[in-house]
Copies of this chain bind each other. A is one copy, B any other.
Amino acid sequence: MAVKFLDKLIGSGKKVKSEIEEYQELDLSEFEEGFKDEPTSMFIRVAELTGLEILPELKKQIYEGNVVFIDVSPAKHDKLLFDRAIKDLKQVVNDVHGDIALIKEDQVIVTPRSIRIDRQKLK
């Protein structure tokens, strides 16, 4: 029992922990407050498609010239929500001459004018 516990503590358990730490470190990276004095020309905004009520904010961001990166997995089995959201976003993309693409099956990237999404994966 004690061995098992120790094993958990310094064995595989440790590896998992260190991986999580790595991720947290990156998530809250020093860059968060990094180059504050740099002028910011554009933001990358992150969102989740949980319902129709988020659409106005998504559209506003694109009209303001920001890239929006939307996790659509919550809407994957809600065809009405998904279709409506995509229709709305395509309309905005048409308006601003931006771009829209589905990446990795459930991630939608929407861009403002003059920013293109490269459909070919880098190699």
Contact partners of A27 in chain B: CB under 8 A: 101-102, 119
- Give the docked Cα–Cα distance between A34 and B77 (Å): 28
- State the oligomeric state as a number of copies: 2
Q: Is the Cβ of A38 less than 8 Å from the Cβ of B122? A: no
Which A residues are within 8 Å of any B CB, using their own CB? 15, 18-19, 22-23, 26-27, 29, 31-32, 34-35, 38-48, 54, 57-58, 61, 67-69, 71, 76-77, 79, 82-83, 86, 90, 93, 97-105, 107-109, 111, 113-123
Q: Is the Cβ of B67 less than 8 Å from the Cβ of A44? A: yes
Residue of chain B at shortest CB distance from A115: B42
Q: List 7 A-B contacts (CB under 8 A).
A: A22-B82, A27-B102, A38-B113, A40-B114, A44-B99, A44-B116, A67-B67
